[in-house]
Each structure stands twice: as C-alpha cells, then as structure tokens.
Amino acid sequence: MGKSFSIYVLLFFAISVRSQPNPLDLLVSRLFKDYNNFASPYANRRNSTSHVEVLISLSHAVIDNVNERDWTIGVLTLLTIRWVDPRLQWDPSLFDEIAEISVKESALWKPEIFLCKSAESTNVSPDFPSAMIRYTGEVSLDVFHKITYSCQMVFDDFPFDVQQCQICYGLSGISGATVDLIDVPPARRDIVANSEWFFVGNISVEKRIAELNGVHKDRLNYNISLSRRSFFWVALIIVPTCLICIVALVGIFFAGEGKVIDNAVAIGLTTMTSLMLVVTILADSLAKADNLPGLGWFVLYDIGIVCVAAIVALVLDHSRSLAISSVKKKRQMNTWTTLLVSKRAYRAVRVILFIICIVGLALNVVLRWSANST
C-alpha cells in the first residue's frame, strides 16, 4: 500500500512539473500575442510629437573592389541597429529573471533604414537572422550588406591619388513621430582595404537633416579616404618609362656622328611606340574624364622630351653639316661656325643638351607629384 502510494505521488509530481509552462515560452507568448510587426509602435495620433531615436553603429567595413572606370566602390559592411519598441517591454521578475531574448527578425517591426548614394546593394545576412530584445524594449539587430556606392573620383595625382568616398545610411520619418538617426561609435571599428587601396586617417561622420513634404529625413554620411598603393605603378610604369627615355637620349646624343639622323629618327619612333603602351593601359583602366590622369601627363611629357631631343639633334647635325660646307666653299669662319665645325665644341653641346633633357625628366617626376608627397 505504501509503495503504491509513493508511486502515485511521484507520478503526480512529474505530471505537475511537466504541465508547468516554460517561463521563456510564457514570455514570448505574452509579447507577441497581439503584436503587429507591420505597424509602427509610434503611429499614435494622440501624440504626434513623439521622438524616436534609432542608433546605428558601423563596426566593420571591407573594401571589396574599386572600379575607376565606373566611379564606384564595393563595400562589405556590418551595421548594428538599435531602437526601442515599447510593446516589447516586460518585468524580468515575473518571468524567472529573463532579461534578454532572441527572436527571428521577421517577427519584429523595424525602422526602414535605406542606403543612400548606392548604385546596388545585397543583403548577405543569414536567411533567418535573429534580433536581441532586452526587457526595456530595446531591440538590437546586426545587418550585413554588400553595397556598391557611387564615388566621384579625381585622378590628377594618379597613381598617388587619394579618393574621398562615402558610406551613407538614411531614415525617413516614421508616421506619428520625428526620427533622429544617431551614430554610436563602436569600441573598435574594423576597416579593411584591399590589395590596391588602403584607408587614410579615421572615418568621420557627417549628419544631414532635411524636411520634405512634412516627412523628416535623417542621413548619416561616413566619410572615408582611400589611398592607392602606388608601388605597382612606380615599379612597372614610372621607373621603366624613365629608363626607356634615358636610354633613348643616350642613343640620340652619343651615337656616332655619321648615324645621327638614322639614330634620332629610329630611337624617337621606338620610344613613342613603347610609351604608347602605357597610354593604352591607362585608357583601359581609368574613366574617360575631361582631364588626363597624373601618370598620363607624365608619360606625355616624357614623349615630348624625347621628341624634342631628337629634333634638336637633327637640327644640330644639319647645322654642323651646313657650317662645314660653308667653310669649305668660302674659307671663312665666324664664332658660330667655329663652334659648329669644332668637334670638341660640337660634342660639348651634345653633352649639355643631354644633361638638360635628363634634368627635364627629373623635373617631370618631381613637379608632377611633389604636391601629393607633401
């Protein structure tokens, strides 16, 4: 009898324990019983002056690509959005001290933050992301985006250029409330560039507020500075261009006297053909803007220096030939004729012209990018 009674008591106790609802299930049922995720909690006609603060925190940004031809940049971002929904408040003491729960994002009303100044965007969050809700009604949601932003680029200092771009988020007024979009700097903001670009300085935040047809609009612009890694262009374009021009000038001014015309013409044409390859690379890589990029001007000036050197060498050689012919016929010499006929003076003039051209090449490098380096 006693043993049977004990068994019945244990069974009754087990059934009673199992029949008690889980505090978390009770809390979720209570919060979402009459919850409408399509309606704003601030759409209250009686209180049209309610103020809504939406906090966003850009904690992670990765430069995926930079398209110079289209003036766009691709950015992977992690944005944390926080807001307060009064309908999701509870007393933790009534629910086994539960202070925070996680629910599917699709079950919640969310402020509609849009991406401004973007050409294209893709949500790369999980298919069913979760949001954290605290007992105070504060909701926190992490959103991953792959965004293509429009960025007006300037290539005057290419390949030492620095581009100023923006990551922009906006929020329109919620019915029945005014909206304040606030940036909350994270404890650590990870900014990662790619193999060709790196970030310069820190991200600065600029807020824009506008009112259009009674709708309050807030925008937050995250200003970023991207500097190009110029070693590739220096090693494969600038240095070879300078070396090609130096070799061409050596051939023009120090070739045998009897081959001046042939060497000057051949070397000038070969140099122009070689440097036009650089122009082709720039034409394929950069946008067709009104102004040439810095590297384009650099190559153009180098071509001009070699061409002028070839023309000067031809004129000098032709003048010397005329001077020698004049001396042979008239047997009289003036100061200029003496200088042209003299082999020593003629070689000295060629050396001086060579040095002037080399100085011109050096000044082309220094003056082209000196402002950028300072």
**Residues of the chain with pLDDT > 70: what percent?**
79
Cα 29 to its chain centre, rounded Å, is 47
Peptide bond into 159 cis (omega under 30): yes
Read off the pLDDT of each residue in 95-120 and give the average, rounded to a whole number: 85
Task: Give per-residue pLDDT as tens, 136-148.
Answer: 999 999 888 888 8
Question: Per the structure block, which two tokens stand in for 109?
Answer: 């009303």
Q: What topology is assigned to 35-228 in CATH?
A: Acetylcholine Binding Protein; Chain: A, (2.70.170)
Read off the pLDDT of each residue in 59-64 and give the average, rounded to a whole number: 86
Domain with CATH 2.70.170.10 in the chain: 35-228
Task: Give per-residue pLDDT as tens, 319-371.
Answer: 877 777 777 766 566 666 666 677 788 888 888 999 999 999 999 888 887 75
Across the chain, the runs of DSSP E, i.e. the strands, are 50-67, 72-84, 100-104, 113-116, 118-123, 130-134, 138-150, 162-172, 177-183, 190-192, 197-199, 204-212, 215-228
Confidence of residue 127 (pLDDT cuts 50, 70, 90): low
Report pLDDT for 355. 93
Residue pair 221/208 in contact by the 8 Å Cβ criterion? yes
* pLDDT score of 263 more than 70: no
* pLDDT score of 4 more than 70: no
Distance CA 50, CA 136 (A): 18
* pLDDT score of 176 more than 60: no
* pLDDT score of 261 more than 70: no
Using alpha carbons, list the distances in angstroms from residue 126 to 163, 224, 228, 316, 319.
32, 27, 33, 75, 79
Report pLDDT for 374. 46
* pLDDT score of 114 more than 60: yes
Report pLDDT for 256. 62
Task: Give per-residue pLDDT as tens, 214-260.
Answer: 566 788 888 888 988 888 888 888 888 888 888 888 888 877 655 55
* pLDDT score of 6 more than 70: no
> How much of the chain is in helix, strand and coil states, percent to nearest 5?
45, 30, 25
Domain with CATH 1.20.58 in the chain: 231-373
User: Among 49-53, 130-134, 235-239, which is the least confidently predicted range?
Assistant: 49-53
Confidence of residue 135 (pLDDT cuts 50, 70, 90): very high
User: Among 80-84, 107-111, 190-194, which is the least confidently predicted range?
Assistant: 190-194
* pLDDT score of 113 more than 70: yes
pLDDT, mean over the chain? 79
Using alpha carbons, list the distances in angstroms from residue 156 to 297, 306, 366.
9, 23, 15
Q: Specify the CATH number for 231-373; select among 3.30.70, 1.10.10, 1.20.120, 1.20.58.
A: 1.20.58
Report pLDDT for 175. 52
